[in-house]
Amino acid sequence: MRTLRIEEITYKRLTSVLEDVMHYKKKDVNYDDILNELIDVYQENVGGSIGGTVGGG
């Protein structure tokens, strides 16, 4: 496990997304789930070009 330091406003925005997803999917999700989903969406939009170099994919 790693620690990620983010700005307060980023934390609030991420928490808002987390709450929206929990409401929309009607199930518990955590910050890992949200971050992974954001990474997936980003990679789909840019063609997955960074996936191999950052351990994603």
Cα–Cα distance between 30 and 18 in angstroms, integer?
A: 7
pLDDT at 25: 87
pLDDT at 47: 80
pLDDT at 49: 60
Which of 44, 46, 35 lies closest to 11, judged by CA? 35
Give every CB contact of residue 31 below 8 A, 6+ residues apart in sequence: 14, 18
pLDDT at 52: 55
Model pTM greater than 0.75?
A: no
Mean pLDDT, the chain cut into blocks of 10 residues (57 residues total): 94 95 91 94 81 55
- What Å distances lie between residue 2 and 5, 24, 32, CA to CA? 10, 28, 11
